[in-house]
Amino acid sequence: MKVELRAVRRTYGTVAALDGVTAGFEAGTLTAIMGPSGSGKSTLLHCAAGLDRPTEGTVVIDGTDLGSLNEHGLTVLRRERIGFVFQAFNLVSALTAEQNVALPLRLAGRSAAPGLVLQALAEVGLDDRARHRPNGLSGGEQQRVAIARALITKPAVVFADEPTGQLDTQTSRQVLGMLRRLVDDHGQTMIMVTHDPVTASYADRVIFLEDGRIVDELTGALTAETVAARMAGTC
Ligand SMILES: Nc1ncnc2c1ncn2[C@@H]1O[C@H](COP(=O)(O)OP(=O)(O)OP(=O)(O)O)[C@@H](O)[C@H]1O
């Protein structure tokens, strides 16, 4: 499912958090958004995901102009087609890991096929923690439950904000490998904000923001070194 931003501007008072961003995100691609603090990364993600409305310009997902949808229409689109891996989308503390992962299916009125939820937990290495509540899990484990929950509906588009922010190196590699396989095998469109060159190196493309504008782009065979060099302004 293609996601397109056309001349998107988002202002907060006199601050232009996004200042005329045009970008397309094709199905089956993973894009990393990078840039200094305050450059507009979260604002871009929120506008592209229909969580925030641009002040000017349009966001089009799979041919639908999000500006033409009311709040209910946006909610349905988000629930049925979009997955979120955001730090702010916390787990429900009263529910077990298994129940948290099953929640998006229940909200969409879909029943979970037997084993589906456990399989999603197994993919993030947590099938043995299914009955634990969030406060009985480490930060990294909670993050992995949130990823399993985001992917359980097999969303066509996934938005991620620092998807491996709280994970150790090894778990982080596993999770990134898993996200990469989802894009390659299921043709999902994935857009992730990250400060980490290693995380960005899993992407097909890195977009660099500065002061609400796209200032550069890297594509091709990305390595953490080339991304880091670009961040340091040395290439
Ligand atoms: N709700 C808001 N109200 C007012 N200003 C905002 C709001 N959200 C963002 N801004 C401003 O818009 C600009 C872009 O913010 P944004 O959060 O998109 O940046 P970012 O690149 O994600 O930063 P970080 O890496 O620190 O998370 C900043 O100047 C920020 O202060």
State pLDDT tens for residues 47-74: 999 999 999 999 999 899 999 999 999 9
How far is Cα 200 from Cα 207, in angstroms, rounded to an integer? 10
Q: Whose CA is nearest to atom 18 of ligand 1?
A: 40
Query: Is the whole-model pTM more than 0.90?
Result: no
Say which residues have a Cβ less than 8 Å from residue 187's Cβ, sequence separation at least 6: 27, 28
The pLDDT of residue 88 is 53
Per-residue CA distances from 106 to 67, 110, 111, 149 (Å): 27, 6, 6, 12
Sign of the dihedral through C-alpha 46, 146, 178, 82: negative
Q: Which long-range contacts (CB under 8 A, 24 or more apart) does 61-70 make?
A: 61/1, 61/2, 61/3, 61/4, 61/157, 62/1, 62/2, 62/156, 63/2
Residue to substitute in 41, 193, 199 for testing ligand 1 pocket (most ligand atoms within 8 angstroms of CB):
41
Is there an atom of ligand 1 within 6 Å of 39 CB?
yes
* Residue (of 124, 134, 187, 185) closest to 158 by Cα position: 187
**At which residue do the structure tokens 């639908």 appear?**
64
Domain spans of the chain, in order of start: 3-91+160-231
19 strand-pairing partners: 9
Q: Find the angle CA(43)-CA(59)-CA(188) to the nearest 5 degrees.
A: 90
Instruction: Report how far ligand 1's centroid is from the alpha carbon of 117 (Å).
Output: 35
Instruction: Report how far ligand 1's centroid is from the alpha carbon of 61 (Å).
Output: 23
* Residue (of 78, 79, 110, 115) closest to 98 by Cα position: 115
The answer to whether 160 touches 179, Cβ cutoff 8 Å, is yes
Residue to substitute in 18, 39, 191 for testing ligand 1 pocket (most ligand atoms within 8 angstroms of CB):
39
User: Closest ligand 1 atom, CA of 44?
Assistant: 18
How far is Cα 119 from Cα 125, in angstroms, rounded to an integer? 9
Is there an atom of ligand 1 within 6 Å of 43 CB?
yes
How far is Cα 199 from Cα 138, in angstroms, rounded to an integer? 21
Give the amino acid at 202.
Y
Print pLDDT tens along the chain (235 aa). Answer: 899 999 999 999 999 999 999 999 999 999 999 999 999 999 999 999 999 999 999 999 989 999 999 999 999 898 888 988 876 557 899 999 999 999 988 887 877 777 899 998 998 889 899 999 999 998 778 888 988 898 888 888 999 998 888 778 887 888 888 788 888 988 899 999 999 999 999 999 999 999 999 999 999 888 999 999 988 875 5
The pLDDT of residue 234 is 53
Residue to substitute in 43, 51, 87, 196 for testing ligand 1 pocket (most ligand atoms within 8 angstroms of CB):
43
How far is Cα 118 from Cα 8, in angstroms, rounded to an integer? 40
Q: Whose CA is nearest to atom 31 of ligand 1?
A: 38
Is there an atom of ligand 1 within 6 Å of 37 CB?
yes
ipTM of the complex: 0.96
- Range 3-91+160-231 has CATH code 3.40.50.300: yes
Say which residues have a Cβ less than 8 Å from residue 13's Cβ, sequence separation at least 6: none
How far is Cα 118 from Cα 180, in angstroms, rounded to an integer? 21
Q: Whose CA is nearest to atom 1 of ligand 1?
A: 12
Instruction: Please write the tens of the pLDDT for every residue from 67-116.
Output: 999 999 999 898 888 988 876 557 899 999 999 999 988 887 877 777 89
The pLDDT of residue 85 is 83
Is there an atom of ligand 1 within 6 Å of 17 CB?
yes
Q: Whose CA is nearest to atom 29 of ligand 1?
A: 38
The pLDDT of residue 89 is 56
How far is Cα 145 from Cα 131, in angstroms, rounded to an integer? 12
